[in-house]
Amino acid sequence: MITHQITDQELVHHYVEGNEACLEMLIKRHKRKIFTTIYLIVNDRYIAEDLFQETFIKVIHMLKNEKYNEEGKFLPWVIRIARNMAIDYFRKSKRNPTITDGDGEDIFRYIELADENREEQIIRQQTEKQLRFLINQLPDEQKQVLVLRHYGDLSFKEIADLTQVSINTALGRMRYALNNLRKMMLEKEISLQ
Amino acid sequence: MPMNSTYTNDDLILYMYDEMEPSAASALGEELVKNPLLAEEYRKLKEIQNKLDDEHQEPNLTTVNMVMDYSASYHSAPEHHTE
């Protein structure tokens, strides 16, 4: 049997034609990548929620006004908007992204985690927190490439274009980021398993 | 950088993220089987890549619902929306 998963482009097309459910499908498909990217840039869950919303307000506006023309590249397009939103946020607030640590755990998160047992929940949250802390220790240019490549799913070519460096520079930053993370994990005796 | 190999860690990173041309990826895959030093370098990179997957966050339901509400009401009040 041949199964066919509807593409992002098809969903965008149907959404523009008026099918609201298609936006929900797009969000459901990509929300983790988009939100994690924003969260790791701003390092604050509440600001990340706001920026996620702002990002999609812009996405909706552009789609409904037929200003989207990047056929087949929906996710990289949204990630670019999200990344620019996060950078604008810091410009406006004149805050330093590496200093902020507003790691508030909100009630909705606990509701989502209600099915996990308490011990698993604590271990998972601790692991996430350690990893987030280490990612935030990286120099900004390394962190940016790591977040955009690993969580945002942008290619090295797309990252190079976005950050106005060569592909080799983007790759080099990724290499340093991975090596530095490994070093920090070994130093802090954090399990790599 | 792996010894006795023409491949660099940057090649391994491209391979790991599926960004290599299929023929080049296939050649590197074969080299990984034959070259234990290169394979060890790749294992270290892969270990970190897997570890990064521990961190994945989602927006809360309220945020997603607000986006959906905004979209549903968009046609009724377009003059209120700014870029």
**ipTM for the predicted complex:** 0.81
Q: Which chain B residues touch A52 with a CB distance below 8 Å? A: 59, 63, 67
State the pLDDT at residue B12. 96
Average the pLDDT over A159-164 and give the result: 92
| Eight-class DSSP state of A6 | P
CA A57, distance to chain mean position in Å, is: 17
Q: What percent of chain A has pLDDT over 90?
A: 58
Q: Cβ(B3)–Cβ(B36) under 8 Å?
A: no
Please choose, from the candidates A15, A175, A179, A28, the residue with its C-alpha nearest in 3D space to the C-alpha of residue B13: A175
Q: How many CB atoms lie within 10 A of CB B1?
A: 12
Helices marked H in A69-165: 74-93, 107-112, 118-137, 140-146, 156-163
pLDDT of residue A98: 44
What's this model's pTM, rounded to 2 decimal places?
Answer: 0.79
pLDDT of residue A5: 85
Distances (CA, A) of B19 to A4, A115, B10: 24, 37, 11
Q: What pLDDT score was predicted for residue A75?
A: 93
The DSSP secondary structure of B29-54, one letter per residue, reads: HHHHHH-HHHHHHHHHHHHHHHHHTT
pLDDT at A130: 86
Q: State the angle between helix axes of B61-73 and A45-64 in degrees (0 to 180), rounded to the nearest 10.
A: 20
Segment (H or E) for A2 = none
Stretch (H or E) spanning A103: none
Average pLDDT for chain A: 84
| Digit-coded pLDDT (tens) for A39-84 | 998 888 999 999 999 999 999 999 998 888 876 689 999 999 999 9
Q: Does the structure show a pLDDT above 80 at A91?
A: no
How confident is residue A135, by pLDDT bands cut at 50, 70 and 90?
A: very high
User: Dihedral through CA A152, CA A154, CA A159, CA A161, nearest 10?
Assistant: -130
Among A120-134, A148-162, B7-21, the range scoring the smallest mean pLDDT is A120-134
pLDDT at position A173 over 50: yes
Average pLDDT over residues B5-32: 94
Q: Identify the residue among B10, B42, B43, B71 best suited for mutation to test binding to A, counting A beta carbons within 10 A and taking the highest.
A: B71
Nearest CA in chain A to B11: A171
| B5 in contact with A, Cβ within 8 Å | no
Q: Please answer whether residues B67 and A56 qualify as being in contact, where contact means their C-beta atoms are separated by less than 8 angstroms.
A: yes
Residue B15 pLDDT exceeds 90: yes
State both tokens at A53. Answer: 């919303």
